[in-house]
Homo-oligomer: A and B are copies of this chain.
Amino acid sequence: MSDFPDLYAFVLQLYPLERDVTLRAQGHGAQALFLDLVRQVDPVTSERLHADAASKPYTVALLPGRRRDRVELRVSLLQSELFQTFVHALLRQMPGEAPLRLGQASLQLGDVIGTPAPKGHPWAGYSAFSELAMRAEATHTLQLEFATPTAIGQGSRPDGRQRLGILPDPALVFPSLARRWNELAPASVQLDAAAVREAAGDTLITRYHSESAEINLGKGPQKGFVGMVSYELPLDPSQARLIALLSDAALFLGVGMKTTRGMGLCRRRI
């Protein structure tokens, strides 16, 4: 197992070049901005990231926030190869470069934060699949923050209407995280899906607030939920470790659908 980071979470601070521009949290706009950034240095990678892969090795979201003069773009990279391309792209964004676009707004890149709070940013950090797997600790309870609209696909109804999980049900959240983990993590740290389902089934919600929320994805609004949820983990230490591991990984992986377009931004609260 290598401890070299293959999981990165960056926060890019962006400043509008015009005054009085409305910066709305458009999921597709955030993705376009990220892909543009990569395209400037590596059109092939940008194209690959845009293509419909089974599980895309990155997430992009605008952080919720109320400042009028700044937006924060959160990007996570889930393959070490992407790191070099991305950092190269960021270096290219120094003064003189064409501005980035988010919807109608032109933006200038400010600080890029890659270290976690308290020194850095609560939505930034780096780790490795193998490191997360090694360090996960059984605990009694933990709390997840679902910061942008989150929805977990559950197939469709008999009438063809998509069934969306928009409750923070542990039986949905953790198996969904495990699927994504297994799609991207190295073979040495793959998780047993049945064991995750069982552990998730014995995870209880002890406190929460949650509500439905919508995000604009260009083709119309997409439903999800935002909220804060405290889970009580199973007593069995190996089950609790599984849930803790997936909760730690949520910062990088995101939860559920369309995590490349602003949805499913999630992190474990300390």
Contacts and interface: CB of A to CB of B under 8 A. Distances in A.
A20 B106 CA distance: 59
Interface residues of A, number: 26
A235 B204 contact: no
Contacts of A210: 167, 208-211
Contact of A158 (B166, B167, B169, B202): B202
Interface in A211-226: 211-212, 223, 225
A163 B204 contact: yes
B202 A234 contact: no
A205 B169 contact: no
Contact of A212 (B158, B164, B206): B206
Contacts of A169: 167, 169
B208 A212 contact: yes
A53 B204 CA distance: 28
Nearest to A154: B204
Contact of A161 (B168, B204, B209): B204
A205 B166 contact: yes
A206 B235 contact: no
A144 to B, nearest CB: 14
A167 B164 contact: no
A236 B234 CA distance: 39
A172 to B, nearest CB: 10
B202 A157 contact: yes
B204 A212 contact: no
A55 to B, nearest CB: 25
A52 interface: no
6 contacts: A157-B202, A157-B235, A167-B169, A167-B210, A207-B212, A208-B212
**Which 8 A-B residue pairs are closest in the complex by CB-CB distance?**
A209-B211, A159-B235, A167-B167, A207-B212, A157-B202, A208-B212, A210-B210, A166-B205
Given A209-B209, A209-B212, 14 more contacts: A157-B202, A157-B204, A157-B235, A159-B202, A161-B204, A161-B232, A164-B204, A166-B208, A205-B212, A207-B212, A208-B210, A208-B225, A209-B210, A209-B211
